Structure formats: structure tokens, C-alpha cells
Amino acid sequence: MKVSVVSRSGREVVKAGIEISDSATVADLQEAIYKRTKKYYPSRQRLTLPLQPGSKERPVVLNSKKSIKDYSDGNSDTLTVVFKDLGPQVYYSTLFFWEYLGPLIVYPIFYYFPVYKYFGYKGERVVYPVQTYALYYWCFHYFKRIMETFFVHRFSHATSPLSNVFRNCGYYWSFGAYIAYNVNHPLYTPVSDLQMKIGFGLGLACQVANFYCHILLRNLRSPSGNEGYQIPRGFLFDLVTCANYTTEIYQWLGFNIATQTVAGYVFLVVAALIMTNWALAKHRRLKKLFDGKEGRPKYPRRWVILPPFL
């Protein structure tokens, strides 16, 4: 089969196209394109079927595990695919590692080192118990995230654009420094002992619940990632589509109840907004996929992310 590879503006990306066996997979095609273009390794390629001009539909993205026969429409000696360069890619695990490493390193710097001297605060710092517990809690949280990245999560995509490294690290590292600066400040005012216990108690319980949610989500995906989406079930997922985000949000609430800083609450609100965006998309996708027709199960009525609000 001859595959013609064009850009979205119609320009030929691979001169004279690619000759490839009829039984080849899309992954084989991507390898062949990489060999010819030398620059565009497979994870950088987004291949779609051409759309009719003026069509408002979303283009069909070629799945690398399928065979190219699945995408040719019967006149099987030529196929045209539209190519988009997704830009330099990094593994998701790499991205997550770097974005989580920042907070893990930056926070203890504010706790252990005489940083505040450089902000004009001379003299010794009195360290309250809550500040020490906050350090342990925070570092445990990001350590847990890194461990989950390497041992628990099964990613839907292997890679993410390189630009996300700068964006995500900027977000995590900046907020990490901002919160660490305030909680470890020499003029920090702790809350009552009871409030601290309630906060950390809630936070720890939610971290454990969050971990269990991640295990359940992992088991929804097979190691090869072949089967696509499944309806999450069990534990809190019977009530909330994105119970993993719910537990994460409440976990940060616990931290903030214990440490009480504006910085921490700002972070909580921003994180909750970001996760709510993701949750709405996921909920919508699952409801669309599991519509109850043609033998497919119907997606049950559930909260999206934060009962009783959403």
C-alpha cells in the first residue's frame, strides 16, 4: 500500500509517500515516517484521516496499535494521512518526576536552612510542632506522588509535550516555594492543637483513600493498554466519577486546616479548579462512551468530583 503523508496545509511531509505492507500496523507506519523524516520520532506524530473541507467534525486519530487496513476504505492501494508535529515529547513519568521533585526539595530548604536571614529576619527561629508535622506531611505527599508515578499509574499516553515541563514545573515549584515560605516563616502563627490534629487527620485519611483510588484506577487498565475505557467501580467511585481528585482536594484541605495560610488555600482553590476541569471532561467522555446503546452498559448517575456541589 502507498501511504501519502501530508501536513494540515496540504504540503507533502514525506516526498512521494511511503510504500508499506498491507498488513502493517500504524506503529509500523510511524516508524517508517520517522526513518524518512529523521526528526519526527513516533511519539511526536499525530496522524489523522483527512476531513472533508468545511467539515466541523473532529478528525479520526490513528491508533498506533491498529493495522493501517482498518483506516483505508476498501480501495486499499492508497491511503492519505494528515500529519501534525506535536513537538518534542517527554515521557509522562519524566514530566511528573520533575514537577514533583521541586516541592519535595524546595520545602525542606525553607524549614532547615536560614533562608529568612536573606529576607531581613535576623535571629533565631522558634519552630512550632505544627511546622515540623507540616514538613513531614508535605514531603510524604510528594514522595507518594513520585512512587505512584513509577509504580502505580498506567498512563493513557506515553508522552507529553516538552513545553509542559516548564509550565507544570513552574506551577508546582512556585506554589511549593510560596507555601513553604509562609508556613516556615519566623513570624508564623500556629492554630490550636485540636485544629491541627483535625487537619492532619483528615489529610492523612484522604491520602490513604487517594492511594486506594489510584490502585483501583490502575486495575481498570491492562498492562498493554489495549482495551480503552472502563467504568470505574468500587469504593468511592460508586458515588463519584473522579473520586481520586476528590480525595486529593480534601487532602489539601486537611493540610490547610492544620497550617492555615492564605498561600495554602490559594493553592487549594487553583488545584481544585484544574482538577474540576479534568473531571468534567472525563465524566462527559464516560457518559458519551457508555450510552447504554448496542449492548454497551449505561454510565450510572454519579457526582462528577465534589458532592454535593458537582
Count of chain residues binding other proteins (CB under 8 A): 11
Q: Nearest Cα to 141, choosing from 222, 206, 185? A: 206
194 binds other proteins (CB under 8 A): no
In whole angstroms, the minimum distance from the beta carbon of 132 to other proteins comes to 16
Name the 3-class secondary structure at 244. Answer: helix
DSSP 50: P
Using CB under 8 A as the binding rule, whether residue 218 contacts other proteins is answered as no
Q: CB nearer to other proteins: give 185 or 221.
A: 185
Site residues (CB under 8 A) for other proteins, limited to 54-83: none
Of 183 and 249, nearer to other proteins (C-beta) is 183
99 burial level (CB within 10 Å; 0-12, 13-18, 19+):
buried
Looking at 145-153, 177-185, 235-243, 297-305, which segment touches other proteins (CB under 8 A)? 177-185
Regarding 187 and contact with other proteins (CB under 8 A), the answer is: yes
Asked whether position 25 contacts other proteins by CB under 8 A, the answer is no
Our CB check for other proteins shows the closer of 191 and 220 to be 191
Q: 5-10: list long-range contacts, CB under 8 Å, 24+ apart.
A: 5/33, 5/47, 5/80, 5/81, 5/83, 6/50, 6/80, 6/81, 6/82, 6/83, 7/82, 7/83, 7/84, 8/82, 8/83, 8/84
Cβ neighbours for 118, distance < 8 A, ≥ 6 positions apart: none
C-beta contacts of 93-96 below 8 A and 24+ residues apart = 93/149, 93/150, 93/153, 93/155, 94/165, 95/160, 95/164, 95/165, 95/168, 96/145, 96/146, 96/149, 96/153
Q: Pick the closer one to other proteins by CB: 187 or 273.
A: 187
What is the smallest separation between the CB atom of 259 and other proteins, expressed in angstroms?
8
| 126 interacts with other proteins by CB under 8 A | no
Choosing from 75, 189, 192, 224, the residue that interacts with other proteins (CB under 8 A) is 189
Residues 237-276 as x/- pattern, contact with other proteins by CB under 8 A = ----------------------xxxxx-------------
CB 236 within 8 A of CB 247: yes
> CB of 92: closest distance to other proteins in angstroms?
26
Task: Decide if residue 110 touches other proteins (CB under 8 A).
Answer: no
Contact region for other proteins (CB under 8 A) — 71-79, 186-194, 206-214, 242-250?
186-194
Taking the complex as a whole, the smallest distance from the CB of residue 306 to other proteins amounts, in Å, to 24
Task: Report the interface residues with other proteins, using CB under 8 A.
Answer: 182-183, 185, 187-189, 259-263
